């Protein structure tokens, strides 16, 4: 892109460091966030604030980093109404970097194209790497876009991540992120099961994970979440409840493609249980607590069935 200007909507745990990295790399960024405190911090880092999302209408690219598509649609209502009344500049790009439904983002893109008279391109470009990657500017970015749009947005992506790939047309980025979350969510759950089994058997979970990391079970998921699982550290690095949403997108995509996803289906139910237990706002590692609670329930049921045990 010739102009290094962008609008940015959503300065949460991920959005704030992503927007800050754009500013640090020479971009002029105007942001909007529901709570003003994050905007104060962003201005202190050299960014600017917008009074509302519609005020971003003339930015060449507008990034959305909100929890789900429903939040994006709500926040963008005024923006789309403005474009419907007065056409935007040709080549304007809306970049959805949240984890959203692949089918849903296609529908959103079609509505934007219609309201903006075909002058706005919608790109889905969700990220992986968590808050650590967002702060370090080392995110992996999975884009659904035309080749032309992807290439002109490369400077934007390169300011926030170290790996950016075009996965296909609009919706492909979100499906790629769903596949990513299938691995992260089910692997974390498997590690939590191993931790709980080992811990209840009197084993040192940290020692178990250390030896596992040197073998075939070693992975970046183990390296990242293993210490928190072992220490039962559930301090949020991102709300665990979002994994239920992400795995639901896997099931949705599988239905459209005619693919079987038994692990994703089991994961959807497990993370639904996490939400039922009221643990959704804690770190993903809290899935160990979910499994611990399920274990306690199973043990109590067995004891009632066999009072002499």
On the 0-12 / 13-18 / 19+ scale of CB atoms within 10 A, 247 is buried
Q: Max CA-CA distance within the chain?
A: 77
> What would the two tokens of residue 158 be?
């390169």
DSSP-based three-state secondary structure for 92: strand
How far apart (Å, rounded) are the C-alpha atoms in residues 198 and 206?
10
Residue carrying structure tokens 């706002």: 281
Residue carrying structure tokens 């089910």: 186
Helices (H), the chain: 15-24, 36-44, 69-75, 77-85, 102-115, 130-136, 147-158, 172-200, 205-213, 220-231, 242-257, 262-276, 287-305
Residue carrying structure tokens 């949403």: 245
Question: Which residues, including other chains, have CB under 8 Å from residue 107's CB and lie 6 or more apart?
Answer: none
> What would the two tokens of residue 291 be?
């499994």
- Indicate the DSSP class of residue 34: S
Torsion sign over Cα 154, 160, 162, 167: negative
* Residues recognised as catalytic: 177
């Amino acid at each position: 892109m010739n102009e290094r200007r962008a609008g940015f909507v959503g300065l949460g745990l991920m959005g704030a460091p992503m927007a800050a990295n754009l500013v640090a790399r020479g971009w002029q960024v105007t942001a909007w966030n529901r709570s003003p405190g994050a905007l104060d911090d962003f201005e202190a880092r050299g960014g600017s604030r917008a009074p509302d999302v519609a005020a971003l209408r003339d930015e060449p690219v507008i990034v959305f980093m909100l929890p789900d598509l429903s939040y994006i649609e709500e926040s963008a209502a005024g923006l789309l109404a403005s474009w419907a009344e007065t056409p935007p500049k040709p080549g304007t790009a809306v970049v959805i970097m949240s984890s959203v439904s692949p089918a849903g983002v296609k529908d959103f893109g079609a509505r934007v194209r219609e309201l903006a008279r075909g002058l706005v391109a919608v790109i889905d470009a969700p990220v992986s790497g968590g808050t650590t990657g967002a702060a370090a500017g080392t995110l992996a970015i999975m884009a659904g876009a035309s080749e032309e749009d992807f290439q002109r947005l490369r400077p934007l992506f390169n300011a926030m991540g170290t790996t950016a790939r075009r996965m296909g047309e609009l919706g492909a980025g979100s499906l790629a992120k769903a596949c990513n979350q299938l691995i992260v969510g089910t692997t974390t759950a498997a590690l939590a099961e191993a931790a709980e089994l080992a811990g209840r058997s009197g084993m040192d979970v940290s020692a178990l994970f250390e030896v596992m990391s040197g073998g075939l079970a070693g992975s970046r998921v183990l390296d990242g979440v293993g210490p928190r699982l072992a220490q039962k550290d559930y301090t949020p690095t991102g709300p665990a409840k979002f994994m239920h949403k992400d795995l639901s997108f896997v099931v949705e995509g599988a239905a459209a493609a005619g693919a079987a996803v038994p692990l994703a289906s089991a994961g959807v139910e497990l993370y639904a249980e996490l939400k039922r237990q009221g643990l959704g706002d804690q770190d993903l590692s809290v899935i160990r607590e979910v499994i611990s609670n399920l274990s306690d329930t199973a043990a109590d049921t067995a004891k009632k069935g066999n009072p002499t045990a």
